Structure 1
Amino acid sequence: MNTKQRFCILLILTLLLSLPLSTSTKADSNVSTQIAAKIDSPYVMVNKHTQILDTPAVLINGKVFIPAKNIASYLGTTLFWNAKLKSVDLKTAHSQLQFYLDKKTIGINGVMVPFKDKAFLSKDRLMVELAWFAEQTGTTQTYNPVNKLFTLDLIKTPVIVVDTLKNVPPIAKFTFGKTSFRLGETIQYVDLSYDPDAEGLRYEWIGKQEVFFKPGTYPISLRVYDQKGNVSALFTKNLIIEDTLLLTEEQYPVYNQPVGTAFKTNWDWVWNHFTNLPYLSKEVTIDPSRTLLLSDSPETFKETGILYQDNINGKARLYADHMNGTKDKIRFNIQVRNLTDQPVTLRTTNKGEVTPSVYANLIGHVASVDFLMHNTPTVAPLVIAPGQTAVYSQMPDLYPGQGINLFYDVETDGQLQVAFVASLASSLPVSPFDTTKYLEFDGHLRGTFPSADKRWDVDLSTFREPSRLSIGDGKEDAYVRGYDVQRQMEVDDMGNYGTIYTIHSDKPRKMAVMLIAKGGPFKGPFVINGQFMMAPASGVISAFQSIQILARTTGTEESFDLVFTPPAGSAFPIDLIFYPLD
């Protein structure tokens, strides 16, 4: 040891002896361990014996941070690495500490807190704040800012001990919310399990169900595991189901399934319970003020050209649904031409669009949501001079396999010729009306229809048994009849795509409103009493495979209003089930 080192140690010892006597220094027989060191010094006095710290104590923002490994060892214990939990662990008579170095969090008796001003890493050495560490370990600390000397005293027997205690297995235990339950009543499970070592638990249930539909006594068992893999004894308790009916298996999900979610079914179950439900009577109002131009054939075009073309004058809805079946990048646009001798102004009052995608259900769903949001469009009025052609709408280019779906509600003060056009993205924009060929019909929908909106007024206040409304079946909901000007023949809008439905009832009773897909995969939005409901929230609803809960009413609402448009890419018909809740 050189002269400088001897001087530092002597200085620390001198400062320690010159401190005012604390409770511990008045009676040295009560002190098991006394630690003293200066900030930034590698030397420490432990019971007046010189030791060397791996990392000196430091002062940060007025707080003293000490090396946890060294100080813990001087107090009679050690930090150890928990490979399973990836933590540095220290157990004392006061606390069980777990330092998660990657997450920068500390587990204090199972409660997680951030490192924050309690700990940090210095060159892979864990540093802990002096006052906080003293509190956790049951020691007494002092710090003199004048001479930068800190002390740490351990009274009587060490309170920091090596974690040699055997991990205690967890306890599995539960009870029920009451002594017995009825058929179709939700079972209340009250968890009483715990871990004496305050670790998280993993549960393994045997026989547990949310509800039972047959009377009897059912053994329900539980086993739990702690984080170290210790397992509890199997705990079993008998559940008594009375022979008293609350809800049938059919009724239970209607009452209890969360709104916006679906419950699994199958074709037989739907057939037995919902296929033969009576239809609700309705007063149908067709709005003839808006013409629908529908372009969906060829749905997947294999070459460029005009997909559909006709004239509009006044209110119209322009609707298109197409996929790029070519090997080229395609530009899809809607062009308008003024064949009159006066300027014609075209205004957009609503629109629904979607970025091109390869997923047919997705593009129909998103465009429908966009349209039903009814955000006021920022599209400026378009004035077309006599004899001129203009591009009204141009979508982002479609790569092979991508599709688009769009709605536009427009109003004009004169007649315009409208063309839905697919052209090569690499070509210069040209007027299609005189130079582009018409593409052949491929069996999908195409035509001009005299109306675009339906309103159904329904009495939902007095019905007493489960009932339904069908959309897009061609019988209870008649297809709109129109005319395909390119084929010069009458056509039906099978599925009524492009149509907006408004279903209204005054003072509805307490009920559940559900959706069953019957024609094939379905994905689409509903607006119910001003709120969007996505059916389903993700993915698609398969025909007869699940039932979605769209809404429940309390019987106190002034009205029930549902707005819907058949989304492109979805199959029809669908049934809306109205189920009284008594």
Structure 2
Amino acid sequence: MNLKKMVLTTVSIASFVTMVLPASAAETVHGSILSTEDIKAEQTSIATEWQDAQTSITDQENQEAEGTGSGSKEEFPAANGTAQPPETKSVPESQQTSVVAAGTANGAADSGVSQLVLMMNSNKMYQNGKQFLAPHPMTVKDGVSYISIRAIVERTGLKLSFDNKTKETIIRRGGDELRFKLNSKTYKVNGAVKSMKGPSYSSNGVFLVPLTSITQALGIPYTVNQQEKKVVLNLSTKPVAAFSIGNPEIFAGETLVQYIPSAYSPKGLPIVEEQWEGREEVFMYPGRYVVSYRVKDSSGQWSDTFWLTVTVNKPHTPPVADFTTNKDTYKIGEFISYTDYSTDEDNAIVSREWLNNEMAFFTPGPKTIRLTVRNKYGLSSTVEKTITITEEILYTRDEFYKIYTPVGSKYSFDGTKIPTWAKVPYQYDTEPVTLIRSNSPETVYSEGILYRESAIGNTRFMLHHVNSTRKNVKMYVVATNRGTETARLTQTSLGMGGPTKYATASGKMSVQRYFESMQYGNKFKDVWLSPGQSKVIFTELSSSIMRQGDVVSLFADLYSDQTIQYHVIMLSTTRDPINALQNLSVLPMDNHNRGTYFDATRNIRYGDLLGLTPARLMIGDNSQDPYLVGRDGATGTYQMNAGNFGVLYRIKLYRVAPRTLITFNPRGGQYDGVIMVNGRIVQLPDTSGLKAPHEAAVLYRTGDLEETVEMLFTAAPGSSLSVNLLFQPLPEIKH
């Protein structure tokens, strides 16, 4: 026998001596452990196969001597993924790993390491004396070794699932998660996107991924034996112990520590016992504590010990409530200044609750003020201070609140006298703005068209509707170009309130955002419509889902250079508004108003001196400020815009006397909105709404010189008209 034959014979002997393999797949039950009889039979089979191998080697030598051998060498990617011929892959004897013989399987388990042998270009796998058949052979494609994802999962104790929503195949091991997509060269490892050496693919219905994508992500060591055409994965069989702490912070003597174990067995065995060292449910003292954890599986194997350092902070302390007043004794109607000196070591005070901290008192005697402060940890403290009110009067209640009520806040007064005040005899002119008011049916019980109208030029929309359809809906405004030329729509201002359950809150917010869009110009956009084209405009409106009982309000200004037809519709969230429009009908009106009105901007200018004596400027009264008259665009019927909702008032008062108080007083019912005064948005009011007729919100106080005051106002949907702007001299300042 020549040298080559000796080498081949030696390799064959080594292979057969170190591997106990079944003679055929049919002779061994899939995944069964080989018995003693099986081993003896295999030894006999080995001897036979050894003789066959020698004969095969002799035949091969003869073929090569005759020049008939193929001489080809099968390639397999090395650990770095680069294909190498067998002779260039040198594996030291100490690193070469063969299939573990059945007689040593228990010894491998005792060492905590199991070997999984994958045969190249074969679906056979061997693990501790057991043969397994993969659904697809391990395959080399474009220099990359691919493995059946299900086969390796079953043999390595991993968990496999599929996410129907993302179409991802998921592998989990303890806290680790791998996500694969078909025909993708990337995958996710614990949420991070990683690259693979080749794209995943499907072959005969079997999902294949690069072997290294799994071994690298999960830290599974392996060796490649090119001579024996196998890859050996060294799998830990010991259970793995780990845990985390669920509390973001732990405080001594306070925090009940949340221990979250994440132990598992690579072999899929149940965890039957666990041991903790240093674990405390509540740590009583601050510091750093080492907590250890290990577990045992049902085979009796213990995991390595897992350690975690737990940082325990010093316990929280309550905040310290403290305040002072600028004096201890005050006159009736004298302003009281409070200074809050409350402190907290973490600057974590989240609430301050005052009791009896009036700006002034109007009865004599001792007055106790209380302050309670609370921090984010739920700890609180309270302090009280008693002051004395003498019988001497500095201001009456009415005088005091006229002077000291903050702008945007409200105060109470006797509103019955207001109708006796002189009316400001103002005149107004108008601007050519078409108002499309869609406010009926205000409560909508079915899908349909809420309003339909055509307009050109400056157009204002005022929408206010409640969803009572008992399903989730959206509101849309669909613009259609019925002309023969391309139309341009320029949106200049927009404000939307809701969806919310409160009509007044929705109305107030829509006006506030409408005014803010005028200040900042952040809602400006152009929309182009080809002849016959329809588009949804006001995307802020159509992007909001209205649930049962929700209210939505909207103000918007736009300009169109062509006549555009508009449809305001309410529709189920599952339907397309443009496709559905042709099959919708116009809903009938209720007792609220809808209509199209013209000249919907009014400019009020007044040049005489205001503020020397009490006076009122009335809005929405249908006398000095007559209601707009128009028609219902859907039915053509006559309509009157009661309250002039949607009308924008630009008010310019050229001469307001020094030290004049300007307030807002509703007359028709509760009011909750905003007004712009000299470019500043003022709340009406900043707390709960104004009640007619005995409450007023402070808008402005002039200084020591005569001033020009400009205001911008539109009635907030959900509130009541009419309203008065009141002008009166401020009381004399006393010291």
User: What band does the TM-score fall into relative to the shorter chain?
Assistant: 0.5 to 0.7
Structure 1: where are the runs of 5+ without partners?
Answer: 1-99, 104-121, 128-171, 191-203
Correspondence for 2:400 among 237, 248, 252: 252
Determine the structure 2 residue equivalent to 1:330.
473
Please give the alpha-carbon distance, in whole angstroms, between the structure 1 residues aligned to 2:680 and 2:420.
30
Q: CA deviation at 1:569?
A: 0.8
**TM-score under structure 1 length normalisation:** 0.60
Relative CO higher for 1 or 2, CA cutoff 8 Å, sep ≥ 6?
1
* 1:561 alignment partner, one of 710, 717, 721: 710
Q: How does 1:179-578 map to 2 (within 5 A)?
A: 186=335, 210-212=360-362, 218-220=364-366, 239-241=390-392, 247-265=395-413, 269-271=414-416, 273-288=417-432, 290-373=433-516, 374=518, 375-378=520-523, 380-394=525-539, 395=542, 396-431=544-579, 434-459=582-607, 461-509=609-657, 510-556=659-705, 558-578=707-727
Distance 1:458 1:476 in 2: 14
Aligned AA (1:345): R
**3-state DSSP of counterpart to 2:726:** strand
Aligned residues: 393
- What CA distance in whole angstroms lies between the structure 2 residues aligned with 1:247 and 1:293? 49
Contact 2:325 2:336 in 1 (8 A): no
User: 1:176 touches 1:189 (CA, 8 Å); kept in 2?
Assistant: no
Counterparts of 1:174 and 1:393 in 2: how far apart (Å)? 53
Task: Please give the alpha-carbon distance, in whole angstroms, between the structure 2 residues aligned to 1:259 and 1:504.
Answer: 19
Residues 97-140 of structure 1: CA deviation (Å, up to 9, x unaligned)? xxx9879xxxxxxxxxxxxxxxxxx974579xxxxxxxxxxxxx
Cα distance change, pair 538–463 in 1 and its aligned pair in 2 (3 A): closer
In 1: Cα distance, 2:441 partner to 2:700 partner: 37
The 1:535–1:102 alpha-carbon spacing in structure 2 relative to 1, beyond 3 Å, is: farther
User: What whole-Å deviation, never above 9, does each CA across 1:518-546 have from its counterpart, x for those lacking one?
Assistant: 22221101111111111111322222352
Aligned-partner Cα distance in 1 for 2:536–2:388: 73
Show the 5 A alignment for 1:63-102: none
Q: Secondary structure at the match of 2:644?
A: coil
TM-score (norm 2): 0.48
Distance of 2:619 and 2:559 partners within structure 1: 28
SS where residue 420 of structure 2 aligns? coil
Distance 2:529 2:325 in 1: 78
Over aligned residues, Cα RMSD in angstroms? 4.0
Name the residue aligned to 1:145.
none
Give 2:536's aligned amino acid: V
8 Å CA contact retained: 2:493, 2:523: no
Instruction: Note the residue ranges of structure 2 that are not aligned, 5 or more in a row.
Output: 1-251, 256-281, 288-323, 340-353, 372-380
Distance 1:519 1:126, change over 3 A: same
CA distance 1:469–1:249, change in 2 (3 Å): same
C-alpha displacement of 1:185? 5.2
SS in 2 for 1:252: helix
CA distance in 2, matches of 1:401, 1:412: 34
Instruction: State how far apart, in whole Å, the 2-side matches of 1:220 and 1:494 are.
Output: 51
How much does 1:335 deviate? Answer: 0.8
Contact persistence 2:508–2:674 (CA under 8 A): yes
Displacement of 1:366: 0.9
Does the CA contact (< 8 Å) of 2:450 and 2:587 recur in 1?
Answer: yes
Shift of 1:431: 4.7
How far is 1:468 from its partner? 0.9
Shift of 1:205: 12
Match of 2:180 in 1: none
